[in-house]
Homo-oligomer: A and B are copies of this chain.
């Protein structure tokens, strides 16, 4: 690493493979603890070179089992794998939505795999910046491949595009009309579709339907989504799923789309951070700052509408210099 500054001790421990140092840094990132900053900053130059594979889809389609099965195969092939599960339950104090993740965490005796679930704190947008930082910590810790599993709003997490280099949307043969109609929109997220639980009836038709939809369009960068069928109980299709993911990663390199995508994601991440900071600042000032408190009083008294108040605030205080 030519010209790289000396690493702070915590960062050095992470690079050296100290899993407890890694866990502490992740917790600090997750909590927005400023102590994480120098570590993340120091490690940033060592990152951006490994695939980040996103798995998203509705609850109950078997994403966690699929991830577990994939990791098993990748480990058998000698790959080291880091995995982040973004937990939708945890804007709150309470527990995890995804009980079956425990299965993954039990791999604790294998040093070549690291699993971590992260709380989504209900801050809209906040999750993707934190998730990206944790992915970077995992990369700096030496994992050659990162998975990010997420549910998100609308049963698939749109924000996965801001984190993953390859996005896999996981569905099941019969999702009911509710989700069937969603498919068209999914093409704007998915690089790979996986019809999981394909031992159930209807899998072939579901895959065919998806193929027909896929033939109607392709993504802006020229990639046509692949459709695969898997089952973790049979098991079947896991090699095909991995081949489809690898094909997309190769496409990113061959087409130059990797750099474009990374630039787009970084711009999004920076904007998200500035936006969240401004949002927190406004909420604080509406309570503390005399002039802003008066403005809120007038809005509450119906003297000025919220959009006009926001315009004024933006214009007077937050417009870019």
A residues near B (Cβ < 8 Å) are 37, 40-41, 44-45, 47-48, 58-60, 88-99, 120, 122, 124-125, 129, 132-133, 151-155, 157-159, 176-179, 181-186, 188, 259, 262-263, 266-279, 281-283, 285-287, 296, 299-300, 302-303, 305-311, 313-314, 316-321
A321: min CB distance to chain B, Å: 5
Find chain B residues with CB under 8 A from A314 CB.
273-274, 277-278
A310–B309 Cα distance when bound, in Å, is: 26
Q: Are B88 and A154 in contact (CB under 8 A)?
A: yes
Find chain B residues with CB under 8 A from A92 CB.
184-186, 188
Using known A-B contacts A98-B178, A310-B273, determine if residue A266 contacts B296 with beta carbons closer than 8 Å.
Answer: yes
Q: Are B283 and A271 in contact (CB under 8 A)?
A: yes
A97–B181 Cα distance when bound, in Å, is: 6
A186–B271 Cα distance when bound, in Å, is: 30
Instruction: Identify 10 residue pairs between A and B in the complex whose beta-carbon atoms are under 8 Å apart, listed by A's number.
Output: A88-B155, A91-B158, A94-B182, A95-B181, A95-B182, A99-B181, A151-B154, A153-B153, A274-B282, A317-B320
Q: Which 10 A-B pairs have the closest CB atoms?
A: A92-B185, A88-B154, A94-B184, A124-B124, A273-B310, A275-B279, A94-B185, A44-B305, A271-B282, A124-B125
Q: Are B181 and A40 in contact (CB under 8 A)?
A: no
Q: Are B159 and A124 in contact (CB under 8 A)?
A: yes
A270–B317 Cα distance when bound, in Å, is: 13
Using known A-B contacts A40-B307, A45-B302, A267-B296, determine if residue A155 contacts B279 with beta carbons closer than 8 Å.
Answer: no
A91–B189 Cα distance when bound, in Å, is: 11
Find chain B residues with CB under 8 A from A300 CB.
259, 262-263, 266
A320–B282 Cα distance when bound, in Å, is: 9
Using known A-B contacts A302-B48, A307-B40, determine if residue A88 contacts B259 with beta carbons closer than 8 Å.
Answer: no
A255: min CB distance to chain B, Å: 17
Q: Are B302 and A178 in contact (CB under 8 A)?
A: no
Q: Are A267 and B281 in contact (CB under 8 A)?
A: no
Task: Please tell me which one of the listed residues B89, B259, B270, B309 contacts residue A306 in the complex, with CB atoms under 8 A apart.
Answer: B270
Task: Please tell me which one of the listed residues B45, B88, B307 contacts residue A273 in the complex, with CB atoms under 8 A apart.
Answer: B307
Q: Are A270 and B89 in contact (CB under 8 A)?
A: no
A277–B282 Cα distance when bound, in Å, is: 13
